Amino acid sequence: MYAAMGALGLAPSDQSKDYVAPKPGDFTLRGKGAAKVVIIGAGVAGLTAAYELNKAGYDCTLLEARQKAGGRNLTLRGGDRLGELNGPAQEVTFGEGVYFNAGPARIAPWMVTLDYCRELGIPIETFVNDNASAYVHTNGRTMRARTARADMYGYVAELLAKATNDGALDKAITKDDQERLLDFLRRFGDLGPRLEYEGSSRRGFTKFPSIDGGVLLDPPGALHQILAAGTGRAITNNFGVDQATPMFQPVGGMDAIVDRLVEAVGEDSITTGAKVTKITTLDDGVEVVWNGGSVKADYCIAALPPHVLARIPHNLGAQVTTALKTPVPVAAGKIGLEYGRRWWELEDHIYGGVTETDLDITHIWYPSHDYHAERGVLVGYYNADRDAELYGALTPEDRRRRALTQGKKIHGEKYRQNVLSSVSIAWERQEHIQGGWVRWPSVDSSFTLLQRPAGRVYFAGDWLTHLIAWQAGAMESARGVVTLLHQRELQSQ
């Protein structure tokens, strides 16, 4: 009874910020069904919004300009065809069971994305995000990630340990704390008895231990050589809160999330190839015109990239248009290279993980699934901004050629051998998306403005959260919009 009173606005509402999904019971005592909602864009944000609204019986219609739902959640397999603005289409010729996550490819354990995987029954597996056996390539020098970290941590620990031991920190910390700090630094940097870093087994081996003790790598260079290598960015790349060891991925491809959402929403409620040409908010609803007709609904959720949405004629006001034009689309690109032999496992002993580079390919990703299979797809580059624009301007064949040339600098000639096929994506050249994600010049009034509805039109997407470029951002934004819309509908009855 108390819950029913709360739904009618007759009891104090829960002040918790935890998301509460709409449910059919919210309308039971009102004698009226849920409203009709038109959702523009069947990417992760649009699908999530429809999925949550459907729980309370809302009538949702999704209009998607592309030929399939999912937006940037795109997994490519053999037989697919990838079109491109102002460029040739690519035919994907991967072998059976091989796939390439051209968009999102990893999920941190704290992200709401995993909650949806659990709720939708999507099996997940480990994504190896940080692998000590992967490489760091900077300033023309290639070394294992474990070696780069051991050397940088060792020398930093030596400097601080010596400063502590010489009394430089006497005024900052107590004598007892100095001893505790020194004990930590000895362990952190693997320092010798004189508090000096001279290398250790942490750096790796040229021959790993077995019956004998193995053969250690040559000793590290001097401190100035380690600093000159410029490995700092690479070895701290996974320190952010959105990174983790390990991360996760759906079994069989990231688009499992899209498939399950589409199944839950209902394919018959999604119209693909539907390019919206006008949005009009009215006193009693919203009218959306698209290239196949028009639809009238009580509310609209616009789940498109802001720079795409800004070009659609509407009556939402100049302030909204200006706000939508504020975030800047970011170029991003990836290439999937299919090899007939998993040499990175067989010869380099790399099972998943990422090689960080200062080259224009930025990263090389090794697959975290199907270990010991005959073939596999390696991500030959994953870059953004100017580097992505550089690759995006090339033909697919030239992208592949350049990626193989750059990767050879790390892995040698084998990197260019036994390549069965490839497919590359330049997100800024994907129609109706035109960017990997967006970048706000600052989180200003435009960001805040678009988190609120313009009349009966709501906005949703990762770009309206602090999780830009993550599916979790799209899902969190969708939940926020669903909550606002549902509260409004309850209060209007």
Could you give the domains of the chain? 24-67+272-327+440-491 (3.50.50.60), 75-133+244-252+330-429 (3.90.660.10), 145-229 (1.20.1440.240)
- List per-residue pLDDT tens for the chain, 493 residues long: 344 444 444 444 333 368 999 998 888 766 677 899 999 999 999 999 999 999 999 999 999 999 999 999 999 999 999 999 999 999 999 999 999 999 999 999 999 999 999 999 999 999 999 999 999 999 999 999 999 999 999 999 999 999 999 999 999 999 999 999 999 999 999 999 999 999 999 999 999 898 899 999 999 999 999 999 889 888 888 888 899 888 999 999 999 999 999 999 999 999 999 999 999 999 999 999 999 999 999 999 999 999 999 999 999 999 999 999 999 999 999 999 999 999 999 999 999 999 999 999 999 999 999 999 999 999 999 999 999 999 999 999 999 999 999 999 999 999 999 999 999 999 999 999 999 999 999 878 999 999 999 999 999 999 999 999 999 999 999 999 999 999 999 998 7
CB-based burial label for 349 (10 Å; 0-12, 13-18, 19+): exposed
- Paired strand residues for 302: 40, 459
- Please name which of 354, 362, 355, 410 lies closest in space to residue 386, comparing C-alpha atoms: 362
- Paired strand residues for 37: 60, 299
CA 432 to chain CA mean position, Å: 19
Name residue, tokens 């320190």: 239
Question: For the whole model, what pTM was predicted?
Answer: 0.93
d(CA 199, CA 154): 8
Q: What are phi and psi of 356, to 5 degrees?
A: -95, 135
Most distant CA atoms of the chain, gap in Å: 81
Neighbours of 52 (CB within 10 A): 23
CA 370 to chain CA mean position, Å: 22
- Please name which of 419, 233, 436, 472 lies closest in space to residue 334, comparing C-alpha atoms: 436
